[in-house]
Amino acid sequence: MARAVSETHGEILAAAARRFAVTGYRGTSLQDIAGEVGCSKATVLYHFANKEALLAELMAPAIAVLRALDDRLTGLTGVAAQRTAAEGFVDLAVRFRREIALLRGEFPELLAQPAFAHIQRISERLRDAFAGHSDRPAAQISALVLLAGIPEACAEFVDVPDDELRPALLTLIRRALEPVEETPPPTTEDKEP
């Protein structure tokens, strides 16, 4: 009896996740995934146009959460931007740490793919929010280190319970980032004639 289409689809996704974890995205072929599922490469291609489409579907839930965080950051400045970025990014990294672990070391190459091009722009806005929209080099450097380090820590400590990992990361962020001063909008007296 043939497997149901949705069952096969799910098995392909699960096999791809396992293969990516063992041999990396680059080191995994569609044939490898098909072999793990016990189907043909043609069956994999029936469900997914290519390996990139498979990865995009695996990462879709995490990307949806990242986009929602990006939307929440719109219009926030200073401490509000820092706090929202920190809490939202830590929640995302902890929740999706297994997916992050699958792609360790391959993010730069993956961000170059058209399906993930928007992630680079969101990451830049997120870094700016972590910095409290400050252009001070120290604020920008701290923000970049945190954005790179938080996913790495989540991938490394995949077995640490969420209720331990999340507060540890938030404490680290509070220590690493200087709160920025809220700058009120300019008044008519502040403007040059």
The mean pLDDT of 117-131, rounded to a whole number, is: 90
Which residue in the block uniquely carries the two structure tokens 């220590």?
A: 175
Q: Which tops the pLDDT comparison, 183 or 135?
A: 135
What average pLDDT score do residues 75-101 get?
Answer: 92
Residue pair 101/152 in contact (Cβ under 8 Å)? The answer is: no
Quote the percentage of the chain above a pLDDT of 70: 91
Please tell me which residue, 101 or 93, carries the higher pLDDT value. Answer: 93
What pLDDT does 4 receive?
75
pLDDT score, position 115: 75
pLDDT per residue as tens digits for the range 151-191: 989 988 989 999 999 999 999 999 998 776 655 444 445 43
- 8 A C-beta contact, residue 86 and residue 45: no
- Give the mean pLDDT of 11-30: 91
Note the pLDDT of residue 190.
44
Asked if pLDDT for residue 135 goes beyond 90, the answer is no
| Helix ranges restricted to H, the chain | 5-23, 30-37, 41-47, 51-73, 78-95, 97-102, 107-111, 117-130, 137-156, 162-176
**Contact status, residue 84 vs residue 72, Cβ threshold 8 Å:** yes
**pLDDT (0 to 100) of residue 181:** 64
